[in-house]
Structure 1
Protein backbone atom coordinates (compact mmCIF):
# COMPACT_ATOMS: atom_id res chain seq x y z
CA UNK A 1 0.00 0.00 0.00
CA UNK A 2 1.37 3.39 -1.01
CA UNK A 3 2.21 6.07 1.54
CA UNK A 4 1.52 8.69 -1.13
CA UNK A 5 -1.62 8.52 -3.21
CA UNK A 6 -3.32 10.12 -6.15
CA UNK A 7 -6.19 12.42 -5.26
CA UNK A 8 -9.17 13.99 -6.99
CA UNK A 9 -6.83 16.91 -7.73
CA UNK A 10 -4.34 14.82 -9.73
CA UNK A 11 -6.22 14.77 -13.05
CA UNK A 12 -7.12 18.51 -12.98
CA UNK A 13 -3.47 19.28 -12.17
CA UNK A 14 -2.29 17.24 -15.16
CA UNK A 15 -4.75 18.95 -17.48
CA UNK A 16 -3.68 22.37 -16.21
CA UNK A 17 -0.02 21.47 -16.68
CA UNK A 18 -0.68 20.48 -20.27
CA UNK A 19 -1.88 24.02 -21.03
CA UNK A 20 1.13 25.88 -19.64
CA UNK A 21 3.57 27.69 -21.93
CA UNK A 22 5.55 29.22 -19.06
CA UNK A 23 8.67 27.09 -18.30
CA UNK A 24 8.65 28.36 -14.71
CA UNK A 25 5.11 27.22 -13.96
CA UNK A 26 6.15 23.92 -12.39
CA UNK A 27 8.64 25.63 -10.07
CA UNK A 28 5.76 27.54 -8.53
CA UNK A 29 3.70 24.35 -8.14
CA UNK A 30 6.47 21.93 -7.21
CA UNK A 31 5.03 20.91 -3.85
CA UNK A 32 1.61 20.09 -5.30
CA UNK A 33 3.20 18.19 -8.18
CA UNK A 34 5.32 16.14 -5.78
CA UNK A 35 2.42 15.32 -3.48
CA UNK A 36 -0.30 14.33 -5.95
CA UNK A 37 1.60 13.28 -9.09
CA UNK A 38 5.31 12.48 -8.87
CA UNK A 39 5.59 10.65 -5.52
CA UNK A 40 2.45 8.52 -5.94
CA UNK A 41 3.64 7.60 -9.43
CA UNK A 42 7.12 6.60 -8.25
CA UNK A 43 5.76 4.59 -5.34
CA UNK A 44 3.32 2.83 -7.65
CA UNK A 45 6.17 1.85 -9.99
CA UNK A 46 8.24 0.50 -7.10
CA UNK A 47 5.29 -1.49 -5.73
CA UNK A 48 4.56 -3.06 -9.11
CA UNK A 49 8.18 -4.11 -9.52
CA UNK A 50 8.46 -5.68 -6.07
CA UNK A 51 5.06 -7.40 -6.13
CA UNK A 52 5.14 -8.76 -9.67
CA UNK A 53 8.67 -10.03 -10.14
CA UNK A 54 7.55 -13.50 -8.99
CA UNK A 55 4.78 -13.51 -11.63
CA UNK A 56 6.83 -12.16 -14.55
CA UNK A 57 10.51 -12.44 -13.52
CA UNK A 58 11.60 -11.81 -17.12
CA UNK A 59 9.85 -8.43 -17.30
CA UNK A 60 11.55 -5.08 -16.88
CA UNK A 61 9.71 -2.69 -14.57
CA UNK A 62 11.01 0.89 -14.90
CA UNK A 63 11.43 2.79 -11.65
CA UNK A 64 13.88 5.51 -12.68
CA UNK A 65 13.47 8.48 -14.96
CA UNK A 66 9.68 8.29 -14.72
CA UNK A 67 7.00 10.62 -13.39
CA UNK A 68 8.38 13.65 -15.18
CA UNK A 69 5.95 15.93 -16.94
CA UNK A 70 8.34 18.70 -18.05
CA UNK A 71 9.22 18.45 -21.73
CA UNK A 72 12.83 18.84 -22.86
CA UNK A 73 13.44 22.45 -23.87
CA UNK A 74 14.73 21.43 -27.31
CA UNK A 75 11.46 19.62 -28.03
CA UNK A 76 9.13 22.48 -27.17
CA UNK A 77 8.07 24.64 -30.10
CA UNK A 78 7.45 28.29 -29.29
CA UNK A 79 3.92 28.77 -28.04
CA UNK A 80 3.37 25.09 -27.25
CA UNK A 81 2.90 23.58 -23.80
CA UNK A 82 6.04 23.03 -21.75
CA UNK A 83 4.51 20.09 -19.87
CA UNK A 84 2.82 16.80 -20.65
CA UNK A 85 -0.76 16.21 -19.56
CA UNK A 86 -0.17 12.44 -19.34
CA UNK A 87 2.03 9.81 -17.70
CA UNK A 88 2.42 6.11 -18.40
CA UNK A 89 4.08 2.97 -17.07
CA UNK A 90 4.87 -0.01 -19.29
CA UNK A 91 6.49 -3.31 -18.31
CA UNK A 92 7.49 -6.08 -20.71
CA UNK A 93 10.17 -8.59 -21.61
CA UNK A 94 13.18 -6.76 -23.10
CA UNK A 95 12.90 -6.90 -26.87
CA UNK A 96 15.55 -8.59 -28.97
CA UNK A 97 14.82 -6.10 -31.75
CA UNK A 98 14.46 -2.35 -31.64
CA UNK A 99 11.79 -2.66 -34.32
CA UNK A 100 9.48 -4.93 -32.35
CA UNK A 101 7.57 -4.59 -29.08
CA UNK A 102 6.74 -7.45 -26.80
CA UNK A 103 3.35 -7.86 -25.09
CA UNK A 104 3.28 -5.45 -22.20
CA UNK A 105 1.53 -4.41 -19.00
CA UNK A 106 0.42 -0.79 -19.26
CA UNK A 107 -0.97 1.91 -17.01
CA UNK A 108 -1.79 5.28 -18.48
CA UNK A 109 -2.90 8.52 -16.84
CA UNK A 110 -4.32 10.04 -20.01
CA UNK A 111 -6.84 12.73 -19.10
CA UNK A 112 -6.36 14.69 -22.32
CA UNK A 113 -5.86 11.83 -24.79
CA UNK A 114 -8.84 10.51 -26.76
CA UNK A 115 -10.55 8.11 -26.71
CA UNK A 116 -9.67 7.34 -23.08
CA UNK A 117 -9.72 10.76 -21.40
CA UNK A 118 -8.83 9.25 -18.04
CA UNK A 119 -6.87 6.42 -16.42
CA UNK A 120 -6.59 3.07 -18.18
CA UNK A 121 -5.06 -0.33 -17.51
CA UNK A 122 -4.10 -2.55 -20.43
CA UNK A 123 -2.24 -5.67 -21.42
CA UNK A 124 -1.38 -7.37 -24.68
CA UNK A 125 0.38 -6.46 -27.91
CA UNK A 126 0.29 -2.83 -29.06
CA UNK A 127 1.54 -1.67 -32.48
CA UNK A 128 2.93 -5.02 -33.63
CA UNK A 129 5.10 -5.25 -36.72
CA UNK A 130 3.58 -6.91 -39.77
CA UNK A 131 5.53 -10.09 -38.99
CA UNK A 132 4.27 -10.15 -35.38
CA UNK A 133 0.74 -9.45 -36.51
CA UNK A 134 0.87 -12.36 -38.94
CA UNK A 135 2.22 -14.77 -36.31
CA UNK A 136 -0.54 -13.95 -33.80
CA UNK A 137 -3.22 -14.19 -36.49
CA UNK A 138 -1.83 -17.56 -37.57
CA UNK A 139 -1.92 -18.82 -33.97
CA UNK A 140 -5.55 -17.76 -33.66
CA UNK A 141 -6.45 -19.30 -37.02
CA UNK A 142 -4.84 -22.62 -36.01
CA UNK A 143 -6.29 -22.80 -32.50
CA UNK A 144 -7.97 -19.90 -30.69
CA UNK A 145 -9.13 -22.08 -27.82
CA UNK A 146 -6.42 -20.91 -25.36
CA UNK A 147 -7.69 -17.34 -25.74
CA UNK A 148 -11.33 -18.38 -25.42
CA UNK A 149 -10.47 -20.41 -22.33
CA UNK A 150 -8.70 -17.45 -20.74
CA UNK A 151 -11.46 -14.94 -21.48
CA UNK A 152 -14.13 -17.29 -20.11
CA UNK A 153 -12.14 -18.21 -17.01
CA UNK A 154 -14.12 -16.91 -13.98
CA UNK A 155 -11.04 -15.38 -12.33
CA UNK A 156 -9.94 -13.54 -15.46
CA UNK A 157 -13.51 -12.48 -16.25
CA UNK A 158 -13.88 -11.06 -12.74
CA UNK A 159 -11.14 -8.56 -13.54
CA UNK A 160 -11.76 -8.14 -17.28
CA UNK A 161 -15.29 -8.83 -18.45
CA UNK A 162 -14.50 -8.36 -22.15
CA UNK A 163 -11.96 -9.99 -24.43
CA UNK A 164 -9.85 -8.18 -27.00
CA UNK A 165 -10.66 -4.56 -27.76
CA UNK A 166 -12.34 -4.51 -31.18
CA UNK A 167 -11.82 -0.84 -32.03
CA UNK A 168 -8.74 -1.23 -34.24
CA UNK A 169 -9.65 -3.72 -36.96
CA UNK A 170 -8.90 -4.19 -40.65
CA UNK A 171 -11.89 -3.48 -42.87
CA UNK A 172 -11.63 -6.91 -44.48
CA UNK A 173 -10.11 -10.30 -43.73
CA UNK A 174 -6.32 -10.32 -44.25
CA UNK A 175 -5.10 -12.24 -47.26
CA UNK A 176 -4.54 -15.93 -46.64
CA UNK A 177 -7.12 -16.31 -43.86
CA UNK A 178 -10.53 -17.95 -44.08
CA UNK A 179 -13.23 -15.23 -44.22
CA UNK A 180 -15.66 -17.74 -42.66
CA UNK A 181 -13.42 -18.43 -39.66
CA UNK A 182 -15.39 -18.43 -36.40
CA UNK A 183 -12.97 -15.86 -34.94
CA UNK A 184 -12.88 -13.61 -37.98
CA UNK A 185 -13.07 -10.47 -35.82
CA UNK A 186 -9.91 -11.44 -33.96
CA UNK A 187 -8.17 -12.23 -37.26
CA UNK A 188 -8.93 -8.69 -38.45
CA UNK A 189 -7.45 -7.06 -35.33
CA UNK A 190 -4.44 -4.79 -35.75
CA UNK A 191 -3.64 -4.82 -32.04
CA UNK A 192 -4.31 -7.49 -29.43
CA UNK A 193 -5.21 -5.58 -26.29
CA UNK A 194 -7.40 -5.98 -23.25
CA UNK A 195 -8.25 -2.56 -21.77
CA UNK A 196 -9.98 -1.43 -18.59
CA UNK A 197 -11.00 2.11 -17.70
CA UNK A 198 -10.16 2.98 -14.09
CA UNK A 199 -12.76 4.83 -12.05
CA UNK A 200 -11.88 7.90 -10.02
CA UNK A 201 -12.72 6.08 -6.77
CA UNK A 202 -10.25 3.30 -7.56
CA UNK A 203 -7.54 5.67 -8.81
CA UNK A 204 -7.63 7.73 -5.61
CA UNK A 205 -7.90 4.76 -3.27
CA UNK A 206 -5.00 3.99 -0.90
CA UNK A 207 -5.22 0.39 -2.21
CA UNK A 208 -4.76 1.44 -5.85
CA UNK A 209 -1.27 -0.07 -6.20
CA UNK A 210 -2.40 -3.51 -5.04
CA UNK A 211 -5.51 -3.22 -7.24
CA UNK A 212 -3.18 -2.75 -10.22
CA UNK A 213 -1.02 -5.69 -9.08
CA UNK A 214 -4.06 -8.01 -9.03
CA UNK A 215 -5.11 -6.92 -12.51
CA UNK A 216 -1.57 -7.21 -13.87
CA UNK A 217 -1.37 -10.82 -12.66
CA UNK A 218 -4.34 -11.63 -14.89
CA UNK A 219 -3.03 -9.61 -17.84
CA UNK A 220 0.24 -11.52 -17.59
CA UNK A 221 -1.72 -14.67 -18.47
CA UNK A 222 -2.82 -13.03 -21.72
CA UNK A 223 0.71 -11.86 -22.45
CA UNK A 224 2.07 -15.39 -22.06
CA UNK A 225 -0.37 -16.65 -24.71
CA UNK A 226 0.68 -13.87 -27.07
CA UNK A 227 4.37 -14.49 -26.37
CA UNK A 228 3.90 -18.16 -27.19
CA UNK A 229 2.28 -17.19 -30.50
CA UNK A 230 5.14 -14.84 -31.32
CA UNK A 231 7.79 -17.44 -30.43
CA UNK A 232 6.31 -20.05 -32.75
CA UNK A 233 8.11 -20.23 -36.12
Structure 2
Protein backbone atom coordinates (compact mmCIF):
# COMPACT_ATOMS: atom_id res chain seq x y z
CA UNK A 1 0.00 0.00 0.00
CA UNK A 2 1.13 3.54 -0.67
CA UNK A 3 0.31 6.92 0.79
CA UNK A 4 -1.89 9.09 -1.38
CA UNK A 5 -2.63 12.77 -1.79
CA UNK A 6 -5.56 12.15 0.60
CA UNK A 7 -3.31 11.09 3.53
CA UNK A 8 -2.41 14.57 4.80
CA UNK A 9 -5.90 15.99 4.31
CA UNK A 10 -7.46 12.97 6.07
CA UNK A 11 -5.21 13.48 9.09
CA UNK A 12 -6.01 17.20 9.18
CA UNK A 13 -9.72 16.43 9.03
CA UNK A 14 -9.40 13.72 11.71
CA UNK A 15 -7.68 16.16 14.07
CA UNK A 16 -10.70 18.46 13.90
CA UNK A 17 -13.32 15.83 14.80
CA UNK A 18 -15.20 15.94 18.09
CA UNK A 19 -17.64 13.15 17.19
CA UNK A 20 -16.26 9.91 18.69
CA UNK A 21 -17.96 7.90 15.92
CA UNK A 22 -16.33 9.83 13.05
CA UNK A 23 -13.40 7.43 12.62
CA UNK A 24 -15.67 4.36 12.50
CA UNK A 25 -17.81 6.10 9.87
CA UNK A 26 -14.68 6.82 7.79
CA UNK A 27 -12.94 3.49 8.42
CA UNK A 28 -12.46 2.57 4.74
CA UNK A 29 -10.71 5.87 3.91
CA UNK A 30 -8.65 5.62 7.11
CA UNK A 31 -7.44 2.12 6.23
CA UNK A 32 -6.73 3.00 2.57
CA UNK A 33 -5.00 6.36 3.01
CA UNK A 34 -3.50 6.33 6.51
CA UNK A 35 -3.28 3.12 8.54
CA UNK A 36 -2.62 0.60 5.76
CA UNK A 37 0.22 2.56 4.12
CA UNK A 38 1.73 3.38 7.51
CA UNK A 39 1.79 -0.28 8.58
CA UNK A 40 3.27 -1.19 5.19
CA UNK A 41 6.00 1.43 5.69
CA UNK A 42 6.78 0.12 9.19
CA UNK A 43 7.08 -3.45 7.88
CA UNK A 44 9.34 -2.34 5.01
CA UNK A 45 11.59 -0.40 7.39
CA UNK A 46 11.86 -3.44 9.66
CA UNK A 47 12.68 -5.77 6.75
CA UNK A 48 15.33 -3.42 5.35
CA UNK A 49 16.94 -2.25 8.59
CA UNK A 50 16.69 -5.02 11.17
CA UNK A 51 19.56 -7.03 9.64
CA UNK A 52 21.76 -3.95 9.99
CA UNK A 53 20.63 -2.89 13.49
CA UNK A 54 19.45 -6.13 15.07
CA UNK A 55 19.46 -4.66 18.59
CA UNK A 56 16.98 -1.91 17.66
CA UNK A 57 13.26 -2.12 18.46
CA UNK A 58 10.82 -1.86 15.57
CA UNK A 59 7.40 -1.11 17.09
CA UNK A 60 4.38 -2.89 15.67
CA UNK A 61 1.71 -2.45 18.34
CA UNK A 62 -0.43 0.64 17.83
CA UNK A 63 1.16 1.62 14.53
CA UNK A 64 -1.19 3.86 12.57
CA UNK A 65 -3.61 4.39 15.44
CA UNK A 66 -5.02 7.94 15.45
CA UNK A 67 -8.03 7.62 17.76
CA UNK A 68 -7.20 9.14 21.15
CA UNK A 69 -7.94 7.15 24.26
CA UNK A 70 -10.71 8.53 26.47
CA UNK A 71 -8.23 9.89 29.03
CA UNK A 72 -6.46 11.90 26.28
CA UNK A 73 -9.56 13.61 24.92
CA UNK A 74 -10.13 17.04 26.40
CA UNK A 75 -13.82 17.83 26.91
CA UNK A 76 -15.15 19.12 23.59
CA UNK A 77 -11.75 18.69 21.95
CA UNK A 78 -10.70 16.50 19.04
CA UNK A 79 -11.03 12.74 19.48
CA UNK A 80 -8.33 11.90 16.90
CA UNK A 81 -4.70 12.83 16.40
CA UNK A 82 -3.78 14.76 13.28
CA UNK A 83 -0.36 13.09 12.96
CA UNK A 84 1.40 9.72 12.91
CA UNK A 85 4.95 8.72 13.70
CA UNK A 86 7.23 5.77 14.23
CA UNK A 87 10.45 5.86 16.21
CA UNK A 88 12.98 3.04 15.84
CA UNK A 89 15.65 2.83 18.52
CA UNK A 90 17.78 0.60 20.65
CA UNK A 91 16.04 0.08 24.01
CA UNK A 92 17.57 2.27 26.68
CA UNK A 93 19.05 0.80 29.83
CA UNK A 94 18.07 3.92 31.77
CA UNK A 95 14.71 5.65 31.99
CA UNK A 96 16.59 8.95 32.08
CA UNK A 97 18.45 8.53 28.80
CA UNK A 98 17.39 7.93 25.23
CA UNK A 99 19.38 6.23 22.54
CA UNK A 100 19.80 7.59 19.02
CA UNK A 101 16.84 6.68 16.89
CA UNK A 102 15.35 6.84 13.42
CA UNK A 103 12.10 8.79 13.10
CA UNK A 104 9.46 8.92 10.43
CA UNK A 105 6.48 11.20 10.91
CA UNK A 106 3.49 12.47 9.01
CA UNK A 107 2.91 15.83 10.65
CA UNK A 108 0.58 17.92 8.47
CA UNK A 109 -0.18 20.53 11.14
CA UNK A 110 2.91 20.70 13.35
CA UNK A 111 5.10 23.71 12.53
CA UNK A 112 7.78 23.96 11.28
CA UNK A 113 7.41 20.58 9.53
CA UNK A 114 3.91 20.55 8.03
CA UNK A 115 4.30 17.37 6.04
CA UNK A 116 6.50 14.30 6.08
CA UNK A 117 9.55 14.20 8.34
CA UNK A 118 12.41 11.72 8.16
CA UNK A 119 15.03 12.22 10.87
CA UNK A 120 17.70 10.37 12.76
CA UNK A 121 19.95 11.06 15.69
CA UNK A 122 19.85 11.83 19.40
CA UNK A 123 16.82 13.89 20.36
CA UNK A 124 16.50 15.41 23.85
CA UNK A 125 19.65 13.84 25.35
CA UNK A 126 20.19 13.83 29.11
CA UNK A 127 22.82 16.16 30.55
CA UNK A 128 25.47 13.42 30.80
CA UNK A 129 24.71 12.23 27.24
CA UNK A 130 24.97 15.79 25.93
CA UNK A 131 28.33 16.22 27.61
CA UNK A 132 29.64 12.92 26.15
CA UNK A 133 28.56 13.90 22.63
CA UNK A 134 30.07 17.37 22.95
CA UNK A 135 33.34 15.90 24.25
CA UNK A 136 33.46 13.48 21.31
CA UNK A 137 32.87 16.33 18.84
CA UNK A 138 35.52 18.48 20.51
CA UNK A 139 38.06 15.61 20.29
CA UNK A 140 37.39 14.59 16.69
CA UNK A 141 34.36 15.38 14.54
CA UNK A 142 35.81 13.97 11.31
CA UNK A 143 33.14 11.26 11.10
CA UNK A 144 30.40 13.91 11.09
CA UNK A 145 32.28 16.06 8.58
CA UNK A 146 32.62 13.03 6.28
CA UNK A 147 28.94 12.12 6.69
CA UNK A 148 27.69 15.62 5.92
CA UNK A 149 30.07 15.86 2.93
CA UNK A 150 28.91 12.54 1.44
CA UNK A 151 27.01 13.27 -1.82
CA UNK A 152 24.41 10.53 -1.21
CA UNK A 153 23.71 11.85 2.29
CA UNK A 154 23.55 15.46 1.08
CA UNK A 155 21.07 14.45 -1.61
CA UNK A 156 18.63 13.33 1.11
CA UNK A 157 19.47 15.78 3.89
CA UNK A 158 20.26 19.30 2.74
CA UNK A 159 21.70 20.50 6.05
CA UNK A 160 23.82 19.11 8.83
CA UNK A 161 22.38 18.88 12.36
CA UNK A 162 19.03 20.49 13.13
CA UNK A 163 19.30 23.96 14.66
CA UNK A 164 16.07 23.81 16.69
CA UNK A 165 17.79 23.69 20.09
CA UNK A 166 21.00 25.75 20.30
CA UNK A 167 22.74 27.23 23.35
CA UNK A 168 23.10 31.00 23.21
CA UNK A 169 26.77 30.86 24.26
CA UNK A 170 29.61 28.33 24.19
CA UNK A 171 29.11 25.50 26.68
CA UNK A 172 31.22 25.67 29.83
CA UNK A 173 34.57 23.92 29.56
CA UNK A 174 34.90 24.21 25.76
CA UNK A 175 37.19 26.55 23.86
CA UNK A 176 34.95 29.32 22.42
CA UNK A 177 37.18 29.36 19.32
CA UNK A 178 36.78 25.63 18.59
CA UNK A 179 36.28 25.07 14.85
CA UNK A 180 33.09 23.06 15.51
CA UNK A 181 31.59 25.45 18.07
CA UNK A 182 28.31 25.61 16.13
CA UNK A 183 27.93 21.87 16.76
CA UNK A 184 29.14 22.10 20.36
CA UNK A 185 26.35 24.60 21.12
CA UNK A 186 23.66 22.18 19.95
CA UNK A 187 21.33 20.60 22.51
CA UNK A 188 20.03 17.88 20.12
CA UNK A 189 21.93 15.94 17.48
CA UNK A 190 19.59 14.95 14.67
CA UNK A 191 18.99 15.79 11.05
- What TM-score range do you get, normalising by the shorter chain? over 0.9
TM-score by length of 2: 0.97
Higher mean alpha-carbon deviation, 182-191 vs 143-152, is at 143-152
99, 109, 114: which one pairs with 2:111? 114
Contact 1:166/1:185, CA 8 A, preserved across alignment:
no
Q: Which residue of 1 aligns with 2:80?
A: 83
Does residue 134 of structure 2 align to residue 145 of structure 1?
Answer: no
Does residue 35 of structure 2 align to residue 19 of structure 1?
Answer: no
Q: Which residue of 2 aligns with 1:183?
A: 180
DSSP-derived class of the 1:167 partner: coil
57, 79, 104: which one pairs with 1:60? 57
Aligned length: 191
DSSP-derived class of the 1:172 partner: coil
Q: Which residue of 2 aligns with 1:223?
A: none
Q: Superposition pairs for residues 126-145 of structure 1, below 5 Å?
A: 126-145=123-142
1:9 to partner: Cα distance = 0.6
Does residue 108 of structure 2 align to residue 103 of structure 1?
Answer: no
Q: State the 4+ residue runs in structure 1 displaced beyond 3 angstroms.
A: none
* Root-mean-square deviation (Å): 1.0
Greater share of residues in helix = 1
Q: How far apart are the structure 2 equivalents of 1:154 and 1:25?
A: 46
Q: Which residue of 2 aligns with 1:200?
A: none
1:152 to partner: Cα distance = 1.1
Higher mean alpha-carbon deviation, 171-180 vs 152-161, is at 152-161
Relative contact order (C-alpha < 8 Å, sep 6+): which is higher? 1
Contact 1:141/1:187, CA 8 A, preserved across alignment:
yes
Contact 1:49/1:61, CA 8 A, preserved across alignment:
yes
Q: Which residue of 1 aligns with 2:37?
A: 40
Q: How far apart are the structure 1 equivalents of 2:152 and 2:4?
A: 29
